[in-house]
Structure formats: C-alpha cells, structure tokens
Structure 1
Amino acid sequence: MERKPVEIHVYGAEIICPSCVNMPSSKETYEWLEAAVGRKYPDQPFIIKYIDIYNPPEDEAARSFAERVIEEDMFYPVVLLEGNVVGEGNPRLKTIYTELEKYGYKAV
C-alpha cells in the first residue's frame, strides 16, 4: 500500500535565535535533518521544506505559523511533522524518528 509522504517543515531565519548562539543555523539544521531522515528511512518518501519566518510563502498555514514563531518567541528552528511541533531550537533526531515511526516509517 502506497502511503502519502509525511511532511516535515523547518521554520527558521538567517539570523540565529538569541538563545541558540552555539547551535547550527536553521538552514544547516534543515539540511542535516533532510540527510539524516533520508539515511534512516531510505526508499520511504517524505517531504521536507524550509520556511523563512521573516519571508514565509503565500501559503496561509505556513505564514500563520511563521508569525506564531515570532510572536511567541519560540526557539528556532522549529520543526513541524504533519503540523505537530516535534523540535524547537535544537531538535532531537530521536524525537523526530519516533514521530515518523507513528506514521509507519521503518528504520533500516
């Protein structure tokens, strides 16, 4: 049975968040996450998108969540998996993997 790919959204900004000084940038986290998930779950499709909180796309849901990240002073990058926050500031792979496996992903 073909399942729909899970969507992972990484919300962040060019500037590193003030509370995240020694951590990778949002863009680096996005690239690292894309590679890590692809290695752990090869041949299991997923969609990952990077969304700049200061320049979000026209999509209403993305724009709305980007505003929320700014208004609530969330630590970014903020990682959403199917619309649920699974990481903030310094996302943990274990948490993201656990969430993916709830959607039927199997580690190789």
Structure 2
Amino acid sequence: MSFESIEVCVYGAEVLCPSCVNLPSSRETYDWLQAAISRKYPEQPFTITYVDIHSPEGDQEKLQFAERVIEEDMFYPVVVIKGEVVGEGNPRLKTIYAELEKYGYQPK
C-alpha cells in the first residue's frame, strides 16, 4: 500500500511558553516526536518540520500559522498535520498517531 508522505509541523519558540514552564521545550518536543513516530511507523514516509514562531521560515502557510500562534496566544509547541492542530502545549502521542492513521499509516 502506498500513500503520500505526511508533513508534521511543530511550531514553537526557543523560550518556553509562560503556561508551559514544567514541560519540555518546543525543540525537545520536536526531537521526541520525530523519534516516537519513526518507531511507531517504521519505513513509512513522513517529514517533520520545526518552525520558530518568532523567526518563521517556509511557505506562506507556515508563516501565517506562526503568526496565528502568537496572535491567538496558543500554547506552544503546536503540532499541525495537514492543516489540523493535533497538539498544543503538551501534545499527546495518541492524538498524533490517530491523525496519521487517518491517512493510512500502519503501526508496527
């Protein structure tokens, strides 16, 4: 079975979100998610992108969403898959896995 590679976007900042003081940083969450998704769905293509909300890089969609995170005071890191926010502040693996499985990913 073949399917398209999904991009998982993690929006965050080097500085911890004020409400997230005891949580991992956005960058740590990005690293953790990359490892967890790779383990759960080996040999299934995905990309994971980190976007710094204070100096975003990427396409227009990423720039606009980074702005939205700041404007709406969202808890970061914010995890987005295909335009859907699937995690905010302290993202849950179960929710992210469920979203990936909607697109055909098979856990191993």
Q: TM above 0.5, one fold?
A: yes
**Alignment correspondent of 2:54:** 54
Q: How does 1:1-108 map to 2 (within 5 A)?
A: 1-108=1-108
**Aligned with 1:61: secondary structure?**
helix
After TM superposition, give the deviation of residue 58 of structure 1 in Å: 4.4
Deviations 1:31-75 (Å, cap 9, x if unpaired)?
A: 000000000000001011000000101411111000000000000
Query: What is the RMSD computed on CA atoms of the aligned residues?
Result: 0.8
**Aligned with 2:9: secondary structure?**
strand
Displaced runs of 4 or more, over 3 A: none
**Aligned with 1:91: secondary structure?**
coil
Task: List gaps (5 residues or longer) in structure 2.
Answer: none
TM-score (norm 1): 0.97
Q: Which amino acid aligns with 1:5?
A: S
Q: Which amino acid aligns with 1:34?
A: Q
Q: Percent identity?
A: 67
Query: Per the alignment, do residues 20 and 44 of structure 1 end up closer, same or farther by CA in structure 2, a change over 3 Å counting?
Result: same
TM-score (norm 2): 0.97
Once residues 78 and 17 of structure 2 are traced to their aligned partners in structure 1, the CA distance between those partners, rounded to angstroms, is 11
